[in-house]
Amino acid sequence: MNYYTPFLEVTKTILDAGGEDLKKCYQCGTCTAVCPWGSVREFSPRYIFKLAQHGLEGYEGDELWLCSTCKTCVDRCPRGVGIIDVFTSMRSIIAQTGLIPPTLRSVLGSINSNGNPWAGKREERNIWAKELGLKNFSGETTEYLYFSCCAPSYDPRTKKIAVATARVLKEAGVDFGIFGKEESCCGESIKKTGDNTTYEKLLNSNISLFNSKGVKKIIAQSPHCLYTFRNEYPAHSGNYEQVHYTQVLAELIKGGKLKPKKEFRKKVTYHDPCYLGRHSGIYEEPRDILKSVPGLEFAEMIRIKEQSFCCGGGGARMWMETPKEERFGVMRIKEALSVGANVIATACPYCIQMLEDGRTALGVEDRIEVMDISEILSATMF
Amino acid sequence: MDKPRIGVFICHCGTNIAGKVNIEEVKKYASTLGDVVFATDYKFMCSDPGQELVGKAIREHKLNRVVVAACSPLMHESTFRKVCMLAGLNQYLFQMANIREQCSWVTEDPELATVKAKAIISGAVAKSRYLEPLNIKEVTINPSVLVIGGGIAGIQAALECAEAGNKVILVEKTPSIGGHMAQFDKTFPTLDCSACILTPKMTSVGQHNNIELMTYSEVKEVSGYVGNFKVKILQKAKYVDHSKCTGCGICMEKCPYKAPNEFEEGLAQRKAIYTPFPQAVPNKPVIDKETCVYFKTGKCRACEKFCEPKAVNFNDTDREIEVNVGAIIVATGYDLFDTRSVSQLGYKKYDNVYTGLEFERINNAAGPTAGKIQLKDGRTPKSIAILHCIGSRDKNYHEYCSRVCCMYALKYAHLIKEKTESDVYNCYIDMRCFGKGYEEFYHRLTEEGVDFIRGKAVCVLDYNDAKTLYPDMVEALGITDSEEDRKKLFVRTEDTLLKKTMWLPVDMVILCNAMKSRSDAKDISRLLNISIGKDGFFLEKHPKLAPVSTATDGVFLAGACQGPKDIPDTVAQASAAAAAAISLVQRNKVVIESATAYVNEELCSGCKLCNDICPFTAISFDESKNRSVVNDALCKGCGTCASTCPSSAIKANHFTDRQIFAEIEGLLNL
Ligand SMILES: Cc1cc2nc3c(=O)[nH]c(=O)nc-3n(C[C@H](O)[C@H](O)[C@H](O)COP(=O)(O)OP(=O)(O)OC[C@H]3O[C@@H](n4cnc5c(N)ncnc54)[C@H](O)[C@@H]3O)c2cc1C
Ligand code: SF4
Ligand code: SF4
Ligand code: SF4
Ligand code: SF4
């Protein structure tokens, strides 16, 4: 026979680690019912929170690592609980004890030795840009820093999107430069693993680099980097004007400085990345770009904008194993197919990878393509 | 004025003050202050013996200034002013020093609290030296009462006042009184027929000799002050002369033009000439100018042709009527949360998703389906989900609990069970059945076989969307592609007691949306100078001790305009507001505050700066003298004008510059 009693000291450690909001939860179940995991398996953030409110064993189980930080629940929570913050703080407590999932351990190792989570060499950081003739960033001569995210340097699929973006930006006459191997991962996903020490190291190394080189404005390829520059860097004296590349391109198109030339005769739907949409409130610019492309037929899916369905790659899920039948990417591809799209466009390197994976897992490579907005634009330009 | 003889009375307030402040030390300190001839302390100064102690000391020590160091003046200033008066001292020679709210309650360190208490008392003593006696002012009271809003709250309040012999002017915006209650079929928890209990009251209002009912009207301007309000009312053109109209209804039959019927929540239509519902009071029509084709094309006038008593009058115009009243009762009720703002719930997107009020009409014998609970295509539903807390208890919309929704949700569950064979699911977060007979009603419903699911419902999908997004689920629930199944709605929630995400395939969804403040609440608040709380509803003067009063003397609150409430609470509050209004107007005279501002004519340059700045519009301009004048009865003594006047011509009595400077010096002079 087990006898249960609350263990509020445990609760207090969670509150102290940044999980203050845990106190607000009144157990309505909204988070569980809106969470994308509910479509593929059982997962109740509410239940984990109740355990944590009591300080009972069980909150620290494997499920703690499921949250992809998509923010669907945060936007709907009637008590305004910062659910992601609560999860992150619980993860940070576990991280301190070293009990984080093994795959994440190697990611953190790679960050510590190479400054990126992909187990790629630091020297190869800008390999994607080799043939493009881009200039190195310097505060005196360059307006924007273009921050490509780590993925394009080490992942062949996402390499293409950085290339496409850089070519289009160049064509439009945007004055930008890049950093070489000194630059590190923005740290967004690392924070979500709960390893605050590694995370802060990254933050500080990037900020001192940016500040010493006189960075004022940043164009981010990935919404995850954008989010971090916007919400985390300023508190560590990293104050920059940050924009997502779709914002820059939409503005150029609107002002007539960039014009999609060739026809793109395909039916395209758009997947809102969580970190671009819900986290950053950018919904219209990517759509405006798509709608400006001649010949392109645009179709919306059912779950769009604030209600977009997560690809599953956030919250460091990118580096964790998910059984095939539980992958969100698969569900999203199905939804895209249901509206008759033959291209699913998006604007985030993680989404690209997760959707590509979904497409392969479903075996529908012949029916639908996954493309970044920049790739579509580039296809109509060159 | 005689040399000041100041008495200082320090209250322990049980341990509220004495628990932090060293009373003995403060008392000793107080007796050393200049002109203080007596200082003492007592456990509860506001108690009878405490008051007696003050009175006795005034007489014995010939005190001509009294300082009580205790709580906030909001609590007990009037108590001690009375004590002074009874002891023969002008009440304005009294000064309160707040050492509770501003000191003992908010200071952690007892030593610092003691230091602060001394400073506060020193300030009060210093100010008291310069206090001046002021005349007590009285004004006469107009015995009429204005009631704004003719829902059950306004009806109840009007009847109570009228029965007490006061003349009542009841202003209702729509063509009939009745409010929301008139739309209901049954009322929880007793399930009385709403019309049966409401109609007799409505008729009494229509017939009462003391009540002047003005429907299709709105209050446009209120000036004056407690006991003497001047009110401008806009009577909208009805285009039907109600003194001639017999209410035969032939005009409505003949009118060829239709609009969505507001009373039926848009589920049915009404004519351009209409009464909102059959039992309307007055039961005589108005013409809705927006819908009537005559106003657009100059042709038709069918109603006029058939009206025998020649009551239709296309030349009718809006009129402004001015009335004088002594008290005002606000009873403007509530609006409902717009369910479309939670787009995930499919309201107005899918058929058979209804709001609470829509369901009231569907279930009402006099409603669009003659009381038959049915789906849009006429079928009887076999399963219905009732979703609680839509727009309430939710920081994204309204944080407050809407209080009635759990109960009306139970009412619907019961009515559905009574009339159909349908399964009923109630998705709730917490059941709030706090009223008399409410918990018993909840118990009854569990016995009637309602399935209660503890979890907030988060989304509703129709068959097509569910099939696209969750094909496995649709299949697993045994949903086929039969015509009937293709009209299903799918509700998603977590059963938090089971830790299971549930899907409910149902035929109908009822959204229990929150009561919220009227969309024009701000206009009314400006009109009457009353405040609005954080929740959007009108703010009572004190949540416990003055629940029907407002910050403006003579203006009272009744019903749901003050916060979500059910009918029993609404009626109780309406009776209380009526009692407060009656007790005010039947006094004939009322004492008004003398701590007001006045303009020194010799100094006033006539610049008029103060005229616009006064938040209570208490200052007017006397053109003949070219000077500004403060209306005593309107002035609240806020001092805004005094600090604005560039010629220093305005003096705020009881808060003169000299008094304020002395208080500051006293505070600092430790
Ligand atoms: C779906 C639903 C079901 C309910 N069922 C029950 C039940 O079964 N039992 C129960 O006890 N309670 C029930 N309630 C609660 C009940 O509706 C309220 O308690 C009651 O109606 C409040 O009455 P009221 O007069 O304050 O407001 P209202 O009924 O809103 O009446 C206000 C009146 O003022 C008028 N008005 C508004 N603004 C102005 C203005 N500026 N000038 C002039 N007139 C104006 C309006 O036209 C209206 O006639 C239910 C509520 C809802 C939403
Ligand atoms: S939605 Fe918010 S309040 Fe509701 S269970 Fe989840 S965290 Fe708690
Ligand atoms: S952030 Fe997204 S994945 Fe995480 S619990 Fe909330 S809804 Fe689920
Ligand atoms: S026809 Fe004339 S009398 Fe009859 S209801 Fe209409 S306006 Fe009144
Ligand atoms: S003291 Fe305030 S209320 Fe009185 S007249 Fe001056 S501004 Fe108006």
The count of domains in chain B is 4
Q: Kindly state whether B389 is in contact with chain A, defined as any CB-CB distance less than 8 angstroms.
A: yes
Handedness of CA A82, A88, A89, A94 (dihedral sign): positive
The response to whether residue B390 sits with its C-beta less than 6 Å from ligand 5 reads no
Per the CB < 8 A criterion, the answer to whether A159 and A128 are in contact is yes
- Please judge whether B458 and A335 are an interchain contact, meaning their C-beta atoms are less than 8 angstroms apart: no
Classify strands B228-235 and B217-225 as parallel, antiparallel or unpaired: antiparallel
DSSP tag of B462: E
The CA-atom distances, in angstroms, between A281 and each of A66, A306, B156, B341, B448 are 24, 8, 49, 18, 47
Q: Assess if residue B484 is contained within a domain.
A: yes
> Is there a single domain that holds both residue B451 and residue B597?
no
> Is there a single domain that holds both residue B283 and residue B423?
no
> Is there a single domain that holds both residue B117 and residue B18?
yes
Nearest ligand 3 atom to the CA of A35 is 7
Spatial distance between the Cα atoms of B356 and B349, rounded to a whole number of angstroms: 17
Q: Does the pLDDT of residue A174 top 70, yes or no?
A: yes
The response to whether residue A110 sits with its C-beta less than 6 Å from ligand 3 reads no
Spatial distance between the Cα atoms of B17 and B36, rounded to a whole number of angstroms: 22
B455 chain-A contacts, CB cut-off 8 A? 28-29, 32-33
Handedness of CA B434, B440, B441, B445 (dihedral sign): positive
Q: Assess if residue B340 is contained within a domain.
A: yes
Q: Does the pLDDT of residue B670 top 60, yes or no?
A: no
Compare B223 and A348 and report the one with higher pLDDT: A348
Domain that holds residue B352: 335-515
- Please judge whether B457 and A33 are an interchain contact, meaning their C-beta atoms are less than 8 angstroms apart: yes
Q: Does the pLDDT of residue B1 top 80, yes or no?
A: no
Fold of the CATH domain A102-249:
Rossmann fold (3.40.50)
Q: Assess if residue B122 is contained within a domain.
A: yes
Please spell the DSSP secondary structure of B272-315, one letter per residue: SEE-SSTT-SS---EE-TTT-THHHHS---HHHHH-TT--B-TT
> Is there a single domain that holds both residue B364 and residue B464?
yes
Spatial distance between the Cα atoms of B12 and A134, rounded to a whole number of angstroms: 78
How is residue A289 written in tokens?
């770009």
Q: What is the pLDDT of residue B615?
A: 85
Spatial distance between the Cα atoms of B408 and B421, rounded to a whole number of angstroms: 20
How is residue B444 written in tokens?
């009854």
- Please judge whether A79 and B465 are an interchain contact, meaning their C-beta atoms are less than 8 angstroms apart: no
- Please judge whether A38 and B395 are an interchain contact, meaning their C-beta atoms are less than 8 angstroms apart: no
> Which band of pLDDT confidence, cut at 50, 70 and 90, is reported for residue B617?
confident
Q: What is the pLDDT of residue B378?
A: 96
Q: How far is the CA of B312 from the centre of ligand 4 (A)?
A: 7
DSSP tag of A308: P
Q: Does the pLDDT of residue B106 top 90, yes or no?
A: yes
Q: Kindly state whether B501 is in contact with chain A, defined as any CB-CB distance less than 8 angstroms.
A: yes
Q: How far is the CA of B581 from the centre of ligand 1 (A)?
A: 21
Q: In the listed set B515, B548, B571, which residue is the last one of a domain according to the structure?
A: B515
> Is there a single domain that holds both residue B342 and residue B436?
yes
- Please judge whether A47 and B454 are an interchain contact, meaning their C-beta atoms are less than 8 angstroms apart: no
How is residue A330 written in tokens?
């698969």
Q: Assess if residue B560 is contained within a domain.
A: no
> Is there a single domain that holds both residue B364 and residue B496?
yes
- pLDDT (mean) for B20-30: 97
- What torsion do the CA atoms of B61, B62, B65, B68 make, to the nearest 10 degrees? 40
Q: In the listed set B287, B306, B325, which residue is the last one of a domain according to the structure?
A: B306
The single residue listed with the structure tokens 């301190």 is A96
The CA-atom distances, in angstroms, between B38 and each of A313, B123, B125 are 78, 17, 12
Q: What is the pLDDT of residue B592?
A: 85
The CA-atom distances, in angstroms, between B238 and each of A341, B265, B272, B332, B516 are 56, 22, 11, 21, 29
DSSP tag of B515: E
Average pLDDT, chain B: 96
Classify strands B269-271 and B258-260 as parallel, antiparallel or unpaired: antiparallel
* Residue nearest ligand 2's atom 2 by CA: A77
Spatial distance between the Cα atoms of B508 and B527, rounded to a whole number of angstroms: 43
Please spell the DSSP secondary structure of B559-602, one letter per residue: GGGSS---HHHHHHHHHHHHHHHHHHHTTSEEEE----EEE-TT
Spatial distance between the Cα atoms of B235 and B172, rounded to a whole number of angstroms: 10
Classify strands B327-330 and B145-148 as parallel, antiparallel or unpaired: parallel
Spatial distance between the Cα atoms of B547 and B529, rounded to a whole number of angstroms: 17
Q: Does the pLDDT of residue B636 top 90, yes or no?
A: no
Classify residue B472 as left (phi > 0), alpha (psi -120 to 50) or beta.
alpha
ipTM for the assembly: 0.93
Residue B77 parent element (H or E): helix B73-86
Burial class of residue B519 in the structure, from the number of CB atoms within 10 Å of its CB (0-12 exposed, 13-18 middle, 19+ buried): exposed
End-to-end CA distance of chain A: 72
Q: Assess if residue B348 is contained within a domain.
A: yes
Spatial distance between the Cα atoms of B647 and B377, rounded to a whole number of angstroms: 76
Q: What is the pLDDT of residues A270-296, one digit of tens each?
A: 999 999 999 999 999 999 999 999 999
- Please judge whether B393 and A303 are an interchain contact, meaning their C-beta atoms are less than 8 angstroms apart: no
A32 chain-B contacts, CB cut-off 8 A? 455, 494, 496, 499, 501
Q: In terms of CATH, what superfamily is A258-381? A: AF0625-like (3.40.50.10700)
Spatial distance between the Cα atoms of A67 and A81, rounded to a whole number of angstroms: 15
> Which band of pLDDT confidence, cut at 50, 70 and 90, is reported for residue A108?
very high
- pLDDT (mean) for A299-319: 96
Nearest ligand 2 atom to the CA of A45 is 6
CA B613 to centroid of chain Cα atoms? 27
Q: Assess if residue B153 is contained within a domain.
A: no
Compare all CA atoms of chain A with the CA of B466 and give the residue at the minimum distance. Answer: A302
> Is there a single domain that holds both residue B293 and residue B342?
no
Neighbouring C-beta atoms of residue B34, cutoff 10 Å:
11
Domain ranges of chain A: 8-97, 102-249, 258-381
Q: What is the pLDDT of residues B539-582, one digit of tens each?
A: 999 999 999 999 899 999 999 999 999 999 999 999 999 999 99
* Residue nearest ligand 3's atom 6 by CA: A73
Question: The whole model's pTM is what?
Answer: 0.89
> Is there a single domain that holds both residue B473 and residue B382?
yes
- pLDDT (mean) for B168-178: 98
Spatial distance between the Cα atoms of A122 and A19, rounded to a whole number of angstroms: 34
Burial class of residue B59 in the structure, from the number of CB atoms within 10 Å of its CB (0-12 exposed, 13-18 middle, 19+ buried): exposed
Q: Assess if residue B244 is contained within a domain.
A: no
Q: Kindly state whether B242 is in contact with chain A, defined as any CB-CB distance less than 8 angstroms.
A: no
Neighbouring C-beta atoms of residue A78, cutoff 10 Å:
23
- pLDDT (mean) for B257-281: 96
Classify strands B619-622 and B555-557 as parallel, antiparallel or unpaired: unpaired
* Residue nearest ligand 2's atom 6 by CA: A31
Longest Cα separation, chain B: 98
- pLDDT (mean) for A214-239: 97
How is residue A248 written in tokens?
């820059």
Spatial distance between the Cα atoms of A244 and B526, rounded to a whole number of angstroms: 45
Instruction: For residue A251, give the amino acid letter.
Output: E
Short-list B431, B616, B640, CA closest to B526: B616
How is residue B12 written in tokens?
């322990």
Classify residue A187 as left (phi > 0), alpha (psi -120 to 50) or beta.
left
> Is there a single domain that holds both residue B345 and residue B256?
no
- pLDDT (mean) for A333-360: 97
Please spell the DSSP secondary structure of B160-201, one letter per residue: HHHHTT--EEEE-SSSSS-TGGGG-SEETTTTEEHHHHHHHH
Q: Assess if residue B637 is contained within a domain.
A: yes
Q: What is the pLDDT of residues A231-244, one digit of tens each?
A: 999 999 999 999 99
Burial class of residue A306 in the structure, from the number of CB atoms within 10 Å of its CB (0-12 exposed, 13-18 middle, 19+ buried): middle
Per the CB < 8 A criterion, the answer to whether A226 and A276 are in contact is yes
Q: What is the pLDDT of residue A296?
A: 97
A300: closest CA of chain B, how far (Å): 13
- pLDDT (mean) for A23-31: 98
Q: What is the pLDDT of residue B633?
A: 81
Neighbouring C-beta atoms of residue B124, cutoff 10 Å:
26
Spatial distance between the Cα atoms of B253 and A347, rounded to a whole number of angstroms: 61
Percent of chain A with pLDDT over 70: 100
Q: What is the pLDDT of residues A118-155, one digit of tens each?
A: 989 999 998 899 889 999 999 999 999 999 999 998 99
Residue B322 parent element (H or E): strand B319-325
> Which band of pLDDT confidence, cut at 50, 70 and 90, is reported for residue B74?
confident
Per the CB < 8 A criterion, the answer to whether B13 and B44 are in contact is yes
> Is there a single domain that holds both residue B109 and residue B15?
yes
Q: Does the pLDDT of residue B632 top 90, yes or no?
A: no
Instruction: For residue B486, give the amino acid letter.
Output: R
CATH number where B449 lies: 3.50.50.60
> Is there a single domain that holds both residue B273 and residue B129?
no
Q: In the listed set B134, B157, B181, which residue is the last one of a domain according to the structure?
A: B134
Spatial distance between the Cα atoms of A364 and A341, rounded to a whole number of angstroms: 12
DSSP tag of A80: -
Half-sphere exposure (Cβ direction) of B218: Cα atoms closer than 13 Å: 10
A&B contacts, CB < 8 Å: 73
